């Protein structure tokens, strides 16, 4: 069986850019959606509603980011099936990912009561904010099955090397969301409940559109028999890859949360300055993530095709482009960072403090380029256990660095130094493990089309 739209192509500079740039544009559209939502609610003139919208976004980001592993695992496994020219496995992988996403999404909906109560309690928000947040939360929560299904669909599309279609799907979801937010909040007067309903409908539309796109590519996941979807060995492989990536993601979230919490202990000015500088890192991340996606696709397809030379070339080109963009972004931030700080805040103290730590913040995208690229390589090759273990090691090093720099009374400078050490430590660890993992993956002992067992070697 062959799947139309799944054509493994050799790694070239043009191919890397054609895969990376559409996802960069797609990443940029996401903050635009948040800005429009905040602006629309802000026009209602109620600070409590704006706070409810902001807190709701944070809560759902935390919930769904934890399951971002579904997109990555699906992309890696799909890319390998494409490389092996096994269209049937492409459909089977998609069917399993959709089943997992829909099941987890339904569980989230069923458990919305305790999830909401816990989130509201942790937020510490005022009763007025909690009232608006509750309206938003208990409507948007029903989007969970669609949101996770969209992760599976996006992973399948990206694994085929169709980042152009991934861009179309992301833009479509965001445009529907923006249009409905304007119509329901301002037009129908539904306040934050309208914003929640807009997201629910947009995610459902995205799922329907995604399934239509996949059908055009020749994929019919709902035609896969359930006994094949529920195959124990295949499910174990998919769930294991997902679990590894999820642990890595949760550790990364914990490290970032520690950065924010420790910055807050240094006072409101330092907290605000770090928040401004963090935006620089996030902007850089939009570009780097595109090259990570390119690495997932190209390296995964090379593994599936048992093409060691192609794999090494894909990894080399992805690393080169990611590092080049990281260096360019870092240079740009060093030159224009002061103007960016002034544009974001008018507070003189915050401006001065942000400038004090501009250099490490500007260098962060360059340091992050290596782990971003290697994350894509490792996910494409499904070396997820190694990626998880290296993240555990980097997290421990980060924690020890925080303790040491605190003991040395380095303050916020020590915090930024520890964060750079976290990024650099991950990248160096992945680089050191790369050659050994590559040799094992393409060892004659690993049968063609069955690269999964190599993932177990850490």
Give the tens place of pLDDT for each residue, 197-250: 999 999 999 999 999 999 999 999 999 999 999 888 888 888 889 999 999 988
Give the lowest-confidence range in 46-55, 197-206, 442-451.
Answer: 442-451
Q: What is the pLDDT of residues 346-392, one digit of tens each?
A: 888 988 999 999 999 999 999 999 999 999 999 999 999 999 999 99
Q: What is the distance between the alpha carbons of residues 291 and 16, in angstroms, rounded to a whole number?
A: 7
Whether residue 214 contacts residue 203, with contact meaning beta carbons closer than 8 Å, is answered with no
pLDDT at residue 269, as a whole number: 83
What SS3 state is found at 306? coil
- What pTM did the predictor assign? 0.88
DSSP string for 209-266: HHHHHHHHTT--GGGS-HHHHT-HHHHHHHHHHHHHHHHHHHHHHHHHHHHHHHHHHT
Give the lowest-confidence range in 68-77, 97-106, 206-215, 249-258.
Answer: 249-258
- Output the CA–CA distances (angstroms, integers) from residue 377 to 153, 254, 410, in the order listed: 20, 23, 35
Residue 153 has pLDDT above 70, yes or no: yes
Whether residue 134 contacts residue 120, with contact meaning beta carbons closer than 8 Å, is answered with yes
Q: What is the distance between the alpha carbons of residues 26 and 24, in angstroms, rounded to a whole number?
A: 5
Tokens 């905040």 sit at which residue? 38
pLDDT at residue 8, as a whole number: 67
Residue 320 has pLDDT above 80, yes or no: yes
Whether residue 365 contacts residue 333, with contact meaning beta carbons closer than 8 Å, is answered with yes
- Report the percentage of the chain scoring pLDDT > 70: 95
Residue 109 has pLDDT above 90, yes or no: yes
Give the lowest-confidence range in 6-20, 310-324, 367-381.
Answer: 6-20
More confident residue, 447 or 288: 288
Tokens of 367: 């340091």
Report the Cα 447 to chain-centroid distance in Å.
31
pLDDT at residue 448, as a whole number: 44
pLDDT at residue 3, as a whole number: 52
Whether residue 18 contacts residue 293, with contact meaning beta carbons closer than 8 Å, is answered with no
Whether residue 207 contacts residue 150, with contact meaning beta carbons closer than 8 Å, is answered with yes
Whether residue 125 contacts residue 55, with contact meaning beta carbons closer than 8 Å, is answered with yes
DSSP string for 435-450: HHHHHHHT-TTSPTT-
């Amino acid at each position: 069986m062959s799947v139309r739209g799944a054509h493994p192509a050799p790694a070239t500079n043009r191919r890397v850019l054609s895969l990376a740039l559409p996802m960069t544009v797609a990443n940029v559209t996401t903050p635009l959606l948040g800005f429009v939502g905040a602006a629309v609610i802000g026009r209602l003139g109620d600070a409590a509603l704006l706070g409810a919208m902001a807190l709701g976004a944070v809560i759902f980001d935390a919930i769904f980011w934890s399951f971002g592993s579904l997109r990555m695992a699906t992309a890696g496994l799909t890319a390998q099936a494409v490389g092996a020219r096994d269209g049937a496995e492409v459909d089977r992988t998609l069917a399993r990912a959709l089943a997992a996403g829909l099941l987890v999404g339904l569980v989230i909906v069923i458990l919305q009561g305790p999830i909401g109560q816990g989130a509201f309690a942790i937020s510490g928000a005022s009763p007025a904010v909690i009232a608006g947040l509750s309206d938003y939360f208990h409507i948007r929560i029903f989007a969970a099955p669609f949101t996770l299904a969209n992760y599976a669909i996006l992973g399948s599309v990206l694994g085929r090397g169709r980042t152009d279609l991934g861009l179309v799907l992301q833009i479509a979801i965001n445009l529907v969301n923006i249009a409905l937010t304007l119509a329901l909040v301002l037009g129908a007067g539904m306040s934050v409940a309208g914003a929640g309903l807009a997201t629910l409908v947009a995610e459902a539309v995205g799922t329907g559109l995604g399934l239509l796109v996949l059908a055009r590519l020749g994929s019919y996941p709902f035609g896969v028999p359930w006994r094949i979807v529920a195959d124990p060995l295949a499910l174990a492989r998919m769930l294991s890859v997902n679990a590894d990536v999820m642990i890595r993601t949760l550790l990364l979230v914990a490290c970032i949360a520690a950065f924010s919490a420790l910055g807050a202990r240094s006072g409101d000015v330092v907290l605000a300055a770090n928040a401004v500088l963090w935006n620089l890192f996030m902007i850089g991340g939009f570009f780097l993530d595109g090259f990570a996606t390119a690495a997932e696709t190209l390296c995964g397809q090379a593994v599936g095709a048992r093409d060691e030379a192609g794999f090494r070339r894909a990894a080399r080109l992805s690393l080169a482009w990611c590092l080049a963009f990281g260096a360019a972004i870092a240079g740009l931030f060093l030159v224009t960072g002061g103007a960016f700080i002034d544009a974001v805040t008018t507070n003189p103290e915050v401006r001065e403090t942000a400038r004090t730590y501009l250099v490490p913040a500007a260098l962060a995208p360059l340091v992050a380029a290596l782990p971003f690229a290697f994350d894509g390589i490792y996910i494409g090759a499904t070396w997820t256990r190694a990626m998880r273990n290296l993240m555990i090691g980097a997290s421990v090093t980060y924690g020890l660095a925080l303790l040491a720099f605190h003991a040395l009374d380095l303050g916020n400078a020590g915090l930024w130094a520890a964060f750079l050490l976290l990024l650099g430590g991950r990248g160096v660890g992945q680089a050191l493990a790369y050659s050994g993992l590559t040799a094992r993956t393409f060892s004659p002992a690993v049968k063609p089309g069955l690269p999964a067992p190599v993932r177990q070697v850490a």
